[in-house]
Amino acid sequence: MIDAELWSLFVNAALVNNFVLAYFLGICPYLGVSGRLDSASRMGAAVTFVMLIASLCAYGIHQVLTIMDARYLELIAFIVVIASTVQLVEMFIRKTSPALFQALGLYLPLITTNCAILAVALFQTQRSYGFVESVVFALGAGAGFTLAMVLMAGIREKLRLGAVPDMAQGTAITLVLAGILSLAFMGFAGIGGET
Amino acid sequence: MAEGLQEVVPTTGAEQFQAGLWRQNPILVQALGMCPVLAVSNTAVNALTMGLATASVLLASALVISSLRRIIPAQVRLASFVLVIATFVTVTDMLIEAIAIDVHRALGAFIPLIVANCLILGRMEAHASRRPPGAAALDALGMGGGFVLCLLTLGSLRELLGNGSLFGITVMPQGFEPWVVMLLPGGGFFALAGLVLAARWLSRTPARQGARP
């Protein structure tokens, strides 16, 4: 029963309410880094990782600020704590595992205060998820982001072989592709149960 | 992020203001701050509120940051910028909640998300932190104006085609079949793609040739 609920939460965050294609979060990196397949999948992994950290931080902050009765500070606290935690983890990874840093490191500073990351923190607070739910939600959101990113990168690699009108090159054609992907993702509606 | 934003520095105040409105339009030309643009532009009212909220945060933070530009140490400037922006966003969020609770509910988490709008941080880094308050305010007004205009156009377009209404008032004739797709996420992407294309096409005409960045 509980497992089924968590599974539906994961599917919802990853597919039905995909962060990029249904909520339009994290569009900047989505348009910017989706040019090549390998960088796109690394970016996806980095985002998932930061989302997980952000979710843990946000859970802690929410608990503390609720006790202190200072919820108006939530937004500022989220931003500052998430950004500094990511910086700390980045330094830690650089020291302990150069290989992992090579894979993720480049993108970490870029995404620390990305709107998709902040949204994970805000949504889980708004919907008052518990600890396990928060972690599952963050993982689902990250998986969804990675999926959307990899799909887009695959299409754009193929697209380089096609003839795109000069004027539509770049932003415009990517937006149209995202629109089509978003319509396709609507087909998932309902498989995760209601939100 | 800011290195990519180097631009021709406009000389007069009026030029500075106009740059944000069209030539350097944050959404159409620089492709910054897209997330809220797409998410809340399904009706004209939401789009206008979001645009005004973002523009006012931009203006207020630009004023504060450019006044403090000699005090903020370079090492922690980004953190300080974010702190200032987050403060103004919290204020704006509470203000909208007090004035228009319905719109606040419709926009949901997207008002707090203004903090993460890369347009604002980008302007602070590239402009406000290097200019006196007057110039920074003009730039913020221009950029904010361009943002509001773009958002309002997109919101009106989507509401008009998707719902047959404008600001909640039905304007399309009786027999009009609403294009439901325009209200869905996919429609947002298509509409913005259309706007970007239109802007490129307009700036290609001979009169604008020299103005292209």
Q: Break chain A into its structural domains and give their ranges.
A: 33-150
Least-confidence region, from A35-49, B58-72, B85-99, B162-176: B162-176
- From CA B6, how far away is CA B213, in angstroms rounded? 11
**Closest residue of A to B198, CA-based?**
A167
Q: How far apart are the first and last CA of chain A?
A: 16
pLDDT at B13: 62
Cα separation, A76 vs A74, in Å, equals 6
B7-40 pLDDT tens trace: 445 556 666 666 666 666 766 666 666 777 777 7
pLDDT at A102: 74
Model pLDDT, residue A89 = 78
Interface of A with B in 80-119 (CB under 8 A): 80, 83-84, 110, 113-115, 117-119
User: Which chain B residues are closer than 8 Å to A24 by Cβ?
Assistant: 34-39, 185, 188
Q: Which helix (H) or strand (E) holds B166?
A: strand B165-166
In this predicted structure, what is the pLDDT of residue B8? Answer: 47
Whole-number pLDDT of residue B14: 66
Range of weakest confidence among A50-54, A57-61, B81-85, B183-187 = B183-187
Q: Pick from A61, A53, A183: which is nearest to A114 by CA?
A: A53
For a pLDDT cut of 70, what percent of chain B falls above it?
77
- Average pLDDT score over residue span B146-159: 84
Residue B68 has pLDDT above 80, yes or no: yes
Nearest CA in chain B to A26: B35
Q: How confident is the model at residue B207 (pLDDT cuts 50, 70, 90)?
A: very low
Chain A residues with CB under 8 Å of B31 CB are 28, 31, 171
Greatest Cα pair distance, chain B, in angstroms, is 62
pLDDT at B178: 74
The residues in A 133-172 lying below 8 A from B, measured between CB atoms, are 167-168, 171-172
**Which of chain B's residues have a Cβ under 8 Å away from the Cβ of A183?**
181, 184, 186
Range B98-113 average pLDDT: 82
Q: Which residue of B has its CA nearest to A78?
A: B86
Query: Residues 6 or more apart from A150 whose CB is under 8 A from it?
Result: A37, A40, A41, A44
Residues 164-183 of B with CB under 8 A from A: 181
Could you give the ipTM of this predicted complex?
Answer: 0.73
| Out of A102-106, B67-71, B111-115, B147-151, least confident range | A102-106
Q: So where are chain B's domains?
A: 13-206
Q: Is B169 helix (H, G, I), strand (E, B) or coil?
A: strand
Percentage of residues of chain B with pLDDT beyond 90 = 0
Sign of CA dihedral B35, B41, B42, B46: positive
Which regions in chain A score pLDDT beneath 50? 1, 195
A contacts of B192 (beta carbons < 8 Å) = 175
Mean pLDDT of chain B: 76
**pTM across the whole model:** 0.77
Record: contact B193-A175, CB cut-off 8 A: yes
Give the pLDDT of residue A187. 78
**Would you call A75 and B193 a contact, using CB atoms and an 8 Å cutoff?**
no
Count of Cβ atoms closer than 10 Å to residue A62 Cβ: 20
For residue B135, pLDDT beyond 50: yes
Rounded to 5°, the CA angle B81-B87-B91 comes to: 145
